[in-house]
Amino acid sequence: MQPNADLAIDARGVDKQFGDLFAVAELDLQVQKGHIYGFLGPNGCGKSTTIRMLTGLLTPTRGEISVLGMAIPQQAEALRRRIGYMTQKFSLYEDLSVRENLQFIADIYGLGARESKRKIDELIDTYHLDAQRQQLAGTLSGGQKQRLGLACACINEPELLFLDEPTSAVDPQNRRDFWEQLFDLSERGTSILVTTHYMDEAQRCHQLAIMESGHIRAKGNPQALLEAMPLHVIEIAGHRLRQLKSHLSQFGEIPSTAQLGDRLRVLVDKQIADPIPWLLEKSRTMTGQPTPEPLSANQLSLVSPNLEDLFVSVTGKGLKTSREAEDVTG
Ligand SMILES: Nc1ncnc2c1ncn2[C@@H]1O[C@H](COP(=O)(O)OP(=O)(O)OP(=O)(O)O)[C@@H](O)[C@H]1O
């Protein structure tokens, strides 16, 4: 494959089979340099397997991968010096202090004494770990462990960072601060591939891919993906929402319903041009004890889709009709 200088990652037609299981199938993924690329998908859909192939830790069954212009896995050894990788689990030494963990990684990368001191001091300052400098890593809070994990992943000033669910154990404020740090890195030219289950994090990414059962089902700019979503989103306010949900779930044009407090969020196929009158009509056939009141127009409102709606629609959770993959670049 001819390397493209604008791309940090270029993967084409990549499969990974474990026995009969296609953990990753026909993966095409292009990540622009300097971008934060979000990788979403349900548990077990193949995200970690993809990252392990892109970093050269796993050999694909077929397909071509170029990362920072290098053929992977053939040039994985050279690539490792130019990337950082933070895994889901805290993979640092719990019985070493913050500074010792950083020193250990600096030694692995062969940084000289002066360079490693400069870099460790800078990272401890950037990731607000000064007060914990001598503290054993195993005794850090979730947020502090995560900042240390990122600091360690950045010790070699990587051009490309792989972050596998980096925020799974931290509170909203720490997640927010963490994302600000990712944008600082991105502004300085670092490309980032990050897996997440949080839709607010997905919203922040320059580009997104949503994976399901080893396949990428949608990819592109978050706003463009939302605009191209083939579903209306209607919120219904009222009572007996569980009964209403059960009634509406029988219609093939409604792939998903979910309750949010006193509202029911209903996804309706865009083949239905005018979803509010259509839902009103469907509500008239609702049965039960006591007999439910039909809905009235003032209970229904058409609202903007969010990434959770998109996720539900493309990963097939509750989806009754098959949908083709979307590829919306923007
Ligand atoms: N070494 C392996 N041998 C056999 N099967 C594997 C191996 N590694 C992964 N798998 C399987 O491949 C599939 C994808 O796993 P993977 O860890 O990539 O999912 P994931 O999207 O990262 O999930 P999660 O969000 O839960 O971390 C799963 O069914 C998993 O059991």
Q: What is the ipTM of this complex?
A: 0.96
Residue nearest to ligand 1 atom 25, measured at CA: 43
Residue nearest to ligand 1 atom 26, measured at CA: 43
pTM for the full model? 0.87
Give rounded-to-5 percent helix, strand, coil for the chain. Answer: 35, 30, 40
**Would the CA dihedral through 222, 212, 69, 191 be positive or negative?**
positive
Residue nearest to ligand 1 atom 24, measured at CA: 43
Q: What is the pLDDT of residue 330?
A: 37
CATH classification of 230-304 is 3.30.70, yes or no? yes
Regarding the beta carbon of 44 and ligand 1, being less than 6 Å apart is answered: yes
Regarding the beta carbon of 45 and ligand 1, being less than 6 Å apart is answered: yes
What stretch(es) of the chain map to CATH 3.40.50.300? 7-221
Which pLDDT tens digit goes with each residue over 259-270?
A: 999 999 999 999
What stretch(es) of the chain map to CATH 3.30.70? 230-304
Q: What is the pLDDT of residue 90?
A: 66
Q: What is the pLDDT of residue 319?
A: 37
Q: Considering the domain 7-221 in this protein, what is its CATH number?
A: 3.40.50.300
Q: How far is the CA of 61 from the centre of ligand 1 (A)?
A: 15
The amino acid present at 166, given as its one-letter code, is: P
Among the atoms of ligand 1, which is closest to the Cα of residue 42?
25
- Please give the C-alpha separations between residue 210 and each of 26, 207, 218, 303, in angstroms, as whole numbers: 14, 10, 5, 22
Regarding the beta carbon of 255 and ligand 1, being less than 6 Å apart is answered: no
Q: What is the pLDDT of residue 257?
A: 94
Q: Which residues of the chain have pLDDT under 50?
A: 318-330
Strand order in the sheet with 7-18: 21-32, 7-18, 62-67, 70-72
